[in-house]
Amino acid sequence: MIDKGKPRGMTIAELQKGYQDKCFSVKEVIQSCLQHINNLDNPIGAFITVCNETALEAAEKLDEGLGRGEDIGPLGGIPVAVKDNICTRNIRTTCASRMLEHFVPPYDATVIKLLKNAGAIVIGKTNMDEFAMGAASCTSAFKKIRNPWDFSKVPGGSSGGSAAALAAGFVPLALGSDTGGSIRQSASFCGVVGLKPTYGAVSRFGLVAFASSLDQIGPMTRTVEDCALAFSILKGRDPLDATSVEYDGVFDYANALDSGVKGLKIGIPGQCLEQVDEEIAESLLKAGRVYQESGVQVEWFSLPEMDLCPAAYLVISSAEAATGLAKYDGIRYGYCTEAANNPDLDGMIRRNRSEGFGEEVRRRIMLGTYVQREECSSYYQRAVSIRNKIKNAIEQAFKRFDLILTPTSPVLPFEPGDNKGYLYNEARLGRFTVMANLTGIPALSLPGGFSRAGLPIGLQLAGDYFSEDRLLRAAYCLEQRLGLFMQTACVEGDEA
């Protein structure tokens, strides 16, 4: 039963049915979403910018179209939250950094154009780790993000604001970016679905780059069905992004989800039971049994190259970040210190970058600069060698298996003041996720269970290049068998 005027926590499919049945208008849904955000987001910190006026204006136009009997699109009237490193025309895009605190893009990223053309409404820009550098969403220059399931825990990073907005029921769809697991890590910690597509499957035009050979934009939702629908709209070649590719055929992902998984072969690396929280290992084993009961052949195998990935990722991503962020000097782009009249140009640039960038970003810039020095180039060359090695290992693995199943994170959501070295440590937290970025394969995180303390546990499925259809189908099977998508975080103060 869909309650009129109370769309919080509804899926895309439920909202669309509500519009069709005239249970509520688009404006009523958007008003309700904005009310929940304005009333409940203060302790969560999921949003940096909330688009109250523009969202309501877009809703009114869609309602007018509905009144005329028009088709308002496959995402017509669906509120979407956008990670704040994806450019939005006339809406501030900060990357959660003082360096871009006042940057207002004059154009929309390609993914934003696609969503708007499909009828979606941008409800706001979500908080994140500064320039997407972090694994816990604790490096934002503006405010911390809390996990809606437990305010004392982090929501994962760097797409923590998008994941938290979904877990809190503010929106049914969000966009994130994934350089080393940022979509999937956040999805895991917040109990939602997050897809890192095949590299090049979704345009990156308008994404503020962290590491261009690793970055990928992807959808985050509360259900696999919604994720499939969003991906079907976002995928495809974009002439504005030379790294994007044609996605062969027109595949109706959402309608193909229930075609079954019988006959698939899934491999689970034995390394997944090493240095992993016990409750996460239990969820992984349960998922393996569920797949076997569904007619999937499950086999354990060894993938030792996986443990080489985090170090290689840190070197490569830092080197690319150092190069990409060099343009932010306060003169051409970005924050400029109040002492702008300083005649010492080099000194002013140093001050601009020291004040504009946070500690974690500065650390990675220094590391990336270091490994690009001629006398230190062996570190970078070794990282590239490892990248090639894991690509070869993955190629061999997919000759044996259709999909690979792992935990998303080796640990449960933790407190911001942890003393385990996880806080900004993507190299440690990304043990299972960075493999997909280094190789370019697609990977998806979905809810796989809850700890005894009620914290979400995410499981990751990875597939061969451009196998998102198979990936989503297998994820849908597990989701339906586990039934975890029906659970929503209870946010203090919510009376809806």
Closest CA to 350 of 378, 321, 371, 328: 328
Q: Which candidate in 25, 27, 32, 83 is catalytic?
A: 83
Q: Which candidate in 140, 158, 318, 467 is catalytic?
A: 158
Q: Which residues contact 312 (CB under 8 A, 6 or more apart)?
A: 382, 383, 384, 386, 387, 390, 434, 438
DSSP string for 38-75? HHHSTTT--EEEE-HHHHHHHHHHHHHHHHTT----TT
Helix (H, G, I), strand (E, B) or coil at 458: strand
Task: Output phi, psi for 289, to 5 deg.
Answer: -65, -40
Q: Which candidate in 25, 97, 159, 182 is catalytic?
A: 182
**What is the number of alpha carbons within 13 Å of residue 29 lying toward its C-beta?**
34
158 belongs to the catalytic site: yes
Closest CA to 433 of 271, 309, 278: 309
451 belongs to the catalytic site: no
Q: What is the DSSP letter of 238?
A: -
Instruction: With both helix axes pointing from N to C terminus, report the angle between 377-400 and 309-324 in degrees, rounded to the nearest 10.
Output: 130
188 belongs to the catalytic site: no
Judged on CB neighbours under 10 Å (0-12, 13-18, 19+), 239 is exposed
Among positive and negative, which fits the CA dihedral 167, 170, 174, 177?
negative
Distance CA 411, CA 418 (A): 12
* Catalytic residue numbers, as ranges: 83, 158, 182
